[in-house]
Chain A
């Protein structure tokens, strides 16, 4: 399944690229894109493990920039 999340306080384009690279490595993720301009995360992956994947993605994001939050949707 594919979901789009809004991000808050994503401050630098370079960080967005790093987050994207990290999220793509999470097992179960088939595609991911972090847009600095749109302040959005697009996540595509295994529906059965969605909670797990989303948590891992949130961790990946805060490990790059602790101020950046994934808004609940």
Chain B
């Protein structure tokens, strides 16, 4: 009761009052009032008026505006018709149940709306901004780039920015779905919509509110209900033709047999049943509601889909195309193997490597230093870069080398070549080989599961696009389980590859990339999925589906959600049409009555709506 709006509460009271009155009158009709229509008619008009005056009013108003054939019109004719043939209780009952169905519908839709709104409870209300040396609380929209804001523990970060002072942990769960808090400190980028957990942070704002992450995400989610799926459009078109056809059908069902049999009353009754059953609400509400719920469910899982049309397209994906770096792999170089020579410890190998590389900015050097962390480094003297080869230096008077095979060969050092692919740094001290360190991009563990899930879902072909060499790409593809590899591509080649795949017309093509450099490809694919796109405007703009983190397993999840939604939509269409056609057929043969027809019409709508709402509650494992 407490979730009802004022309007809904009033309707409910009217329904209850009218229902009680109807019960009393039906008892009276059976006991003291039989056969006295002049008493019955005005009495039954009371509950009818209580529950249905607004329907009659709307019907009349719509007819005046040339809007015939809507629900109110159907209900008005059906009930007035029932009064005409002295079926008074039926007339009231039809109206009462119609209103009950409408009320249920509006409560159900309101509930779905609220549940989605609460999902998106990330809109920051205020920002504490430094103005004239004081912290002033203002609306986030009024903060300019470069201003300083203060965020206390427990508060949402209102605008994107860089931490100027303070240390804390952030909860990014509403942005990325990741529940593990992220530690941050001075100089780190922070995104609006994340929640500050424990320290006070001073942040320099880098984006206006309307360009900030939270505003972009809200805009995307709010607008997603605006693109319609083909099923929705079909239902709307169907409803447009269906109602007038049924009205004409009802009229003919009344007219022709009446002339032939000279028994207009019986056939009028059948025609009225026809009208009651003809209301298309079960479909018109439940189909869009299913998609609405499906979109909401996807957002709950950190999958933002830009419209019902893409949700629909996801269920039909036949080909998946992945960008390699950052999508299937971490996109970060890390030490993946350390191979010390027989008399060297891995620890010592890393110490020497770190000592040699400590001043270098090369990505390889950085990964080694990251791996080494805080370990003690021996003192090196005479550090010298050997262009195209590596680095040399002296430790305790002995020459040490770190670099590629050429560097080693030039010093006559024999090396053991590691089996792993990647960049290899060889190390030597004096004339002896110390070992090697392999640096490579790591395959995401979840990519393997994602691919096997996609195969289970019936995706026919998987393709990986990469600018990397074929040797590296083939190995990654083999580990993950990708069918085809297109390697050595320039960024512009990726669009051509996708266009080539689209030209084969083998089915719906999904492209997933990390949003860096691949906006044109995202836009070109049937379904473009941008991963971990929080903070990347171009990707959010170009993609049809935005994954809030960079977990490739979200792709099969999205497909499962879309298939679940599709199956609900199909169930509802089949069920609603099945029951309606059954009743239309039965009523043509006098095998049903108005009570049953009303139950069938409203009952189907209620069941279809409840079924549609299941999409919102769908949970991925």
Seen from chain A, the residues whose Cβ lies within 8 Å of a Cβ on chain B are 4, 11-15, 17-18, 20-21, 33, 35-38, 40, 42, 63-64, 66
Contacts and interface: CB of A to CB of B under 8 A. Distances in A.
Contact of A17 (B109, B236, B289): B236
A15 B70 contact: yes
A17 B136 CA distance: 46
Given A14-B280, A15-B70, 11 more contacts: A12-B281, A14-B236, A18-B67, A18-B70, A18-B240, A37-B225, A37-B288, A37-B292, A38-B225, A40-B222, A42-B223
Label chain A's interface by main secondary structure.
Answer: mixed
Contacts of A14: 70-71, 236, 239, 280-281, 284
A11 B228 contact: no
Interface string B407-444: 00000000000000000000000000000000000000
Contacts of B389: none
Contact of A4 (B65, B66, B223, B280): B223
B226 A63 contact: no
Interface in B269-285: 280-281, 284-285
A73 to B, nearest CB: 13
A38 B218 CA distance: 13
B109 A37 contact: yes
Contact of B227 (A13, A33, A63): A33
B61 interface: yes
Nearest to A14: B284
A33 B226 contact: yes
B71 A12 contact: yes
B67 A37 contact: no
B278 to A, nearest CB: 13
A17 B281 CA distance: 12
A37 B67 CA distance: 22
B226 A42 contact: yes
A17 B240 contact: yes
Nearest to A39: B113
A17 B238 CA distance: 11
A18 B284 CA distance: 12
Interface in B207-257: 222-223, 225-228, 236, 239-240
Interface in B152-206: none
B106 interface: yes
22 contacts: A4-B223, A4-B226, A11-B106, A12-B71, A12-B284, A13-B284, A14-B236, A14-B280, A14-B281, A14-B284, A17-B239, A17-B284, A18-B240, A21-B240, A33-B226, A35-B225, A36-B109, A37-B109, A37-B112, A37-B113, A37-B289, A63-B65
Nearest to A33: B226
Contacts of A21: 240
Interface of B: 61, 65-67, 70-71, 106, 109, 112-113, 222-223, 225-228, 236, 239-240, 280-281, 284-285, 288-289, 292
Contacts, number: 56
B403 to A, nearest CB: 57
Contacts of A66: 61
Contacts of A33: 226-228
B225 A40 contact: yes
A15 B65 CA distance: 14
Contacts of B113: 37
Given A37-B289, A38-B226, A63 B284 contact: no
A13 B285 contact: yes
Contacts of A20: 236
Contacts of B284: 12-14, 17
B158 to A, nearest CB: 22
Nearest to A17: B236
Nearest to A62: B65
Contacts of A37: 109, 112-113, 225, 288-289, 292
A14 to B, nearest CB: 5
A19 to B, nearest CB: 11
A4, A37, A38, A66: most-surrounded residue (chain B CB, <10 A)? A37
Top 7 A-B pairs ranked by shortest CB distance? A38-B225, A17-B236, A37-B292, A13-B284, A35-B225, A14-B284, A37-B225
Contact of A40 (B70, B226, B292): B226
A42 B107 CA distance: 25
Nearest to A36: B288
A66 B225 CA distance: 23
Contacts of A12: 71, 281, 284
B292 A63 contact: no
A36 B61 CA distance: 21
Contacts of A40: 222-223, 225-226
B570 to A, nearest CB: 18
Contacts of B67: 18, 63-64
Nearest to B280: A14
Contacts of A11: 106
B239 A35 contact: no
Given A14-B280, A14-B281, A14-B284, A35 B226 contact: yes
B369 to A, nearest CB: 50
A33 B232 CA distance: 12
B117 to A, nearest CB: 11
A37 B290 CA distance: 11
Contacts of B236: 14, 17, 20
A14 B403 CA distance: 71
Contacts of B292: 37
A65 B91 CA distance: 25
Contacts of A36: 109, 288
A20 B235 CA distance: 14
Contacts of A42: 223, 226
Contacts of B227: 33
B67, B70, B226, B228: most-surrounded residue (chain A CB, <10 A)? B226
